[in-house]
Structure 1
């Protein structure tokens, strides 16, 4: 079975599309897993859940130096992706989606509508979304973000706290990981333990990039379980465009996950360019099974009935 999975499938298209267990730049996922969070216990803090994510989630256009994904937002969510990386340009109150100079033929309202529709259909799930200003430097997108939430979703869709929610509290919610100034809309992006060494100047630097990914993934299971971990496997540079880096990093990530015999551990959020359905599933498979017993033991020792998870 594994030997069959490791074979690449070439599909006709402009320049040819590639579908592998670790890398997929075809228009749609091989299979879907839209409600996998239903099996996560309600009392499990989200910081203990392993989540697949996409880097520059909406970057589907602009050529080889701008494109990071080929699946639509709806397809990504239905494939099991639960962390979104969204970049907005702020111009006269409007929030358009950009990757650098490349406009992505969408605005922030499209993203909010897509997430709201998905959570309405699958209320067992939650979606985390980093929101960052890009290709503008107003440093004042808070008001526009709030306006878009009211216009294209609803205020109650958001998780309104810096506290890390439990899975039960997070179900049906969009958790904004706020990477911009202003009052709290949700959790602060900077509160996460993040590895985002995105600069890969040439393909000769892929080895260094993988080493940083490996080290952060190794740190996640033994790190602070009350803090969310986020590892970006994506990278790019002038002589190493996103597809080329993903074609070299994703197989190493897939093998790393496949070689682990203990799935009872927290890896945090693993954020990728051009992920395939099988590698998304491998990430989902890593979930803490004994976390409830561990928390109960800690509570007993400290004479508490519950632990609060908060990162300032």
Structure 2
């Protein structure tokens, strides 16, 4: 059985796409598009759940056939561009447990929602169906039948959840029956157009939660991180830890084998102990968030939050 780990990675950070498409499948990046320290200005008391966070679906799926490849940028490039939610799949439960035990002061494994001050420089874990350490999340219904439907009305409904210590996740790529790249070309443009309009006119700006995407463009990532945090003035007490919620999910439909595409087996990225150790190797040297005078370094490891 596969084991899926979901990580929030916060760092205090041209393509085949055209302007406004939200889609990119070119691995090259102009360093001028980097967003290394976008969380630097987020107030310490802001709950993580109140941020609009760009993320990637199956973040390490860089290879394989048309049904397997979901991303074009390596993990470090995603970090540089501002991605802070990572969806890592692999048979690594035992390995992750060992890494957590070795880096307890750098990894948030509680079910409560932290504020920025509590997790700057750290990893925040989200639970999945097979990994039970970290924050629980609740999926949004922004997308219906591959279309954004009545999103502003839905935001009004989920705002109390975001402000009452619940993490809301929108997985725009969660379809096993479509090619990730083809799906991204359609959904990312819708999402990019919506985020731009949302920033201009929404009375609930920034109340989007985590947006997990395939093949996002640098522009789409930037548009998401430019949103202000959700205004939670009437929400629960800031930083009090929050309440644990129970999340129910509908069973995912199994794909049929009627098309030639589906005959291609989808392979999970091979996450080796060496790769995982390398990913976390820089945690010990990460400056703590109190050291505000130090400049923000290039990301050398998975960290969460600006350390400045």
Q: TM-score, normalised by structure 1?
A: 0.63
* CA distance in 2: counterparts of 1:175 and 1:62, whole angstroms: 29
Aligned to 2:124: 175
More RCO (CA 8 Å, sep 6+): 2
Aligned to 1:271: 212
Aligned positions, number? 224
- The alpha carbon displacement at 1:192 in A equals 1.4
Q: Are residue 165 (structure 1) and residue 110 (structure 2) matched? A: no
Gaps of 5+ in 1: 1-8, 12-16, 90-94, 96-140, 198-205, 300-304
* CA distance in 2: counterparts of 1:73 and 1:231, whole angstroms: 20
- The alpha carbon displacement at 1:19 in A equals 5.5
Aligned to 1:59: 61
- The alpha carbon displacement at 1:271 in A equals 0.8
Q: Is the 8 A contact 1:29 1:276 kept in 2?
A: no
* CA distance in 2: counterparts of 1:234 and 1:282, whole angstroms: 18
* CA distance in 2: counterparts of 1:186 and 1:207, whole angstroms: 28
Q: Is the 8 A contact 1:51 1:270 kept in 2?
A: yes
Query: Could you give the per-residue CA deviations for residues 207-230 of structure 1, whole angstroms, max 9, x where no partner exists?
Result: 712246947556444545221111
Q: Secondary structure at the match of 1:37?
A: coil
Higher strand share: 1
Q: Is the 8 A contact 2:170 2:212 kept in 1?
A: yes
Q: Is the 8 A contact 1:54 1:272 kept in 2?
A: yes
Higher helix share: 1
Aligned to 2:45: 43
* CA distance in 2: counterparts of 1:207 and 1:167, whole angstroms: 32
CA separation of 1:216 and 1:181: change in aligned 2, threshold 3 A = same
Aligned to 1:118: none
CA separation of 1:309 and 1:207: change in aligned 2, threshold 3 A = closer
Q: Are residue 144 (structure 1) and residue 91 (structure 2) matched? A: no
**How big is the alpha-carbon RMSD for the aligned residues of Structure 1 and Structure 2?**
3.0
Q: Secondary structure at the match of 1:52?
A: strand
* CA distance in 1: counterparts of 2:144 and 2:241, whole angstroms: 39
- The alpha carbon displacement at 1:289 in A equals 6.7
The 5-angstrom pairing of residues 1-312 of structure 1 reads 17-18=16-17, 20-21=19-20, 22-30=22-30, 31-89=33-91, 95=92, 141=93, 143-149=94-100, 154-179=103-128, 181=130, 185-187=133-135, 191-195=136-140, 208-211=145-148, 214=151, 219-221=157-159, 223-225=161-163, 226-238=165-177, 240-260=178-198, 261-262=201-202, 264-288=205-229, 290-291=231-232, 293-294=233-234, 307-312=240-245
Gaps of 5+ in 2: 1-13, 246-308
